[in-house]
Amino acid sequence: MSSDSKSGQRANRALDAANFFLADVRDGLGPYLAVYLLTEQKWDEASIGVVMSIAGFAGLVAQTPVGALVDATRAKRLVMVCAALIVTCASLILPLCAGFWPVVLSQSIAHAAGVIFPPTIAAVSLGVAGHRAFTARVGRNESFNHAGNAAAATVAGGAAYFFGPQVVFYVLGVMTIASLTSVLALPEDAIDHDLARGLQKHGRNPDGAREQPAGLGILLTCRPLLVFAVCVTLFHLSNAAMLPLVGQKLALQDKNLGTSMMSACIVAAQIMMVPMAMLVAARADRWGHKSFFLAALLILPLRGALYTLSDNRNWLLAVQLLDGIGAGILGAIFPVIVADLMRNTGRFNVAQGAIITAQSVGAALSTTLAGFVVVEVGYSAAFLTLGAVAGVGFAVCWFALPETRVHSGSDLGQTAKTIPPTSSIAAG
């Protein structure tokens, strides 16, 4: 076996482990924050929504610069290590500083650092696997990510039942240590950093000339990329607040079971996300990338409507399985579609950052929108409002976003002759 083959195998195993353990680290406290503030700190729903929105906007500001950093840097492992430490420290100090502004500051820092993980992992995956195997590698990433989330939520939920909601902080610390070990196990020489930013393999054109990245204006001139940004924004405007709302409903029914039931919701969704990611990896290149994205959008109006039918905890957990279908598909297909649209431009990661900025707008506004609707009208109205937003996104995607997959068996990074020029994509 050649040294390159061994390095590639080590890189794939390290990516598997990193995705598994970073699953709990990349989002910090995530939906547990709402339950913790509601049950332990006695905050109201509107205040929780405002804090989560402010933190979301902090992540929003960081997104596109982070994408540019990932494109430019060859120290991608170090970037992930630093981000993991920052997220963890910002979250672990929360019990010590639970006032409004300390929580805003700590969670804003955590969100800003957390945005580093998605584009960096996608970049490393592209640099290791290449375009031809990228869909399968992303599906594998998401499978391990969701398995890690399910495992962490199971541990947190079980431990919280016996020791209280604060146990989530300890779980986060353990996962951070394991994730750092996994990232550092990734062989540096297995990553093609030119390919990782969307250039040709080793940054050379077929004639041997050094390839140069496109100008940043491509982010504004590629119309399908802009349409995709709108659709992703609407998806997250609809989706981001649904799980926290479910967690709040469950916590209000039984404070002592609030964190454990939130963990059960997360586990239910994560279990469904694993096969969805595997399905994207196996079939997206055959069935079409757009069709999978449409399916993810369609799930949300159905989910929002079903949440209004009953407050029974078993029913809410059952409906939460739909979150696994929609989010599982989107998580796997998102970097694939961006890579389709940005192929051979050298702007893959900054485009990811720009699109994630757009989705962060939706996610940040989602919790504020839902919080105020709950206070004024109630939980059912909030769920229906969020579902209607996703319905608009489905319509925009159906009519305005073209199919992005490339009908070629060759590695997209090998030759520009098999790929429509980026200018033609932008004009599409």
pLDDT exceeds cutoff 50 at 410: no
**How confident is the prediction for the chain on average, in pLDDT?**
82
**Could you tell me if 265 and 243 are in contact, meaning their C-beta atoms sit under 8 angstroms apart?**
yes
pLDDT: which is higher, 179 or 91: 179
Does some domain include residue 208? no
pLDDT exceeds cutoff 60 at 66: yes
Q: Residue 399: which CATH number?
A: 1.20.1250.20
pLDDT exceeds cutoff 90 at 239: yes
For 27, 90, 164, 266, 387, the CA distances from 236, given in Å and listed in that order, are 15, 24, 30, 17, 11
Q: Which two tokens stand for residue 262?
A: 């939130």
The closest alpha carbon to 46, from 248, 259, 243, 235, belongs to 248
Looking at the chain, the whole-number percentage of residues with pLDDT higher than 90 is 34
pLDDT: which is higher, 390 or 371: 390
The closest alpha carbon to 300, from 412, 427, 194, 387, belongs to 387
pLDDT exceeds cutoff 50 at 412: no
Residues 6+ apart with CB under 8 A from 114: 26, 27, 28, 59, 83, 87
208 phi and psi angles, rounded to 5 deg: 95, -10
**Could you tell me if 62 and 115 are in contact, meaning their C-beta atoms sit under 8 angstroms apart?**
yes
pLDDT of residue 426: 45
pLDDT exceeds cutoff 50 at 423: no
Containing domain of residue 393, as a range? 10-199+217-427
- Euclidean distance between CA atoms 151 and 157, whole angstroms: 10
pLDDT of residue 106: 83
Does some domain include residue 105? yes
Does some domain include residue 72? yes
Angle, CA of 344, 400 and 417, to the nearest 5°: 25
pLDDT: which is higher, 252 or 221: 221
The closest alpha carbon to 303, from 223, 235, 212, belongs to 235
**In the chain, how many domains are there?**
1
Does some domain include residue 297? yes
Does some domain include residue 406? yes
pLDDT of residue 208: 56
Q: Which amino acid is at 283?
A: R
Least confident of 32-41, 48-57, 273-282: 32-41
pTM of the model as a whole:
0.78
Angle, CA of 251, 256 and 260, to the nearest 5°: 70
Reported as a single tens digit per residue, the pLDDT across 81-128 is 999 898 888 877 877 777 788 888 888 888 888 889 989 999 999 999
Residues 6+ apart with CB under 8 A from 197: 70, 71, 123, 213, 346, 347, 348, 349
Looking at the chain, the whole-number percentage of residues with pLDDT higher than 70 is 86
Reported as a single tens digit per residue, the pLDDT across 250-267 is 777 766 666 667 667 777
Q: Which two tokens stand for residue 78?
A: 């170090």
Does some domain include residue 227? yes
Residues 6+ apart with CB under 8 A from 239: 300, 323, 326, 327, 363, 366, 386, 390
Q: Which two tokens stand for residue 356?
A: 């994630």
Q: Which two tokens stand for residue 386?
A: 């969020």
pLDDT of residue 421: 39
Class of residue 343 by CB neighbours under 10 A (exposed 0-12, middle 13-18, buried 19+): buried
Helices 313-341/258-287 angle, 10° precision: 40
pLDDT exceeds cutoff 80 at 135: yes
Does some domain include residue 209? no
Does some domain include residue 5? no
pLDDT: which is higher, 184 or 168: 184
pLDDT: which is higher, 171 or 233: 233
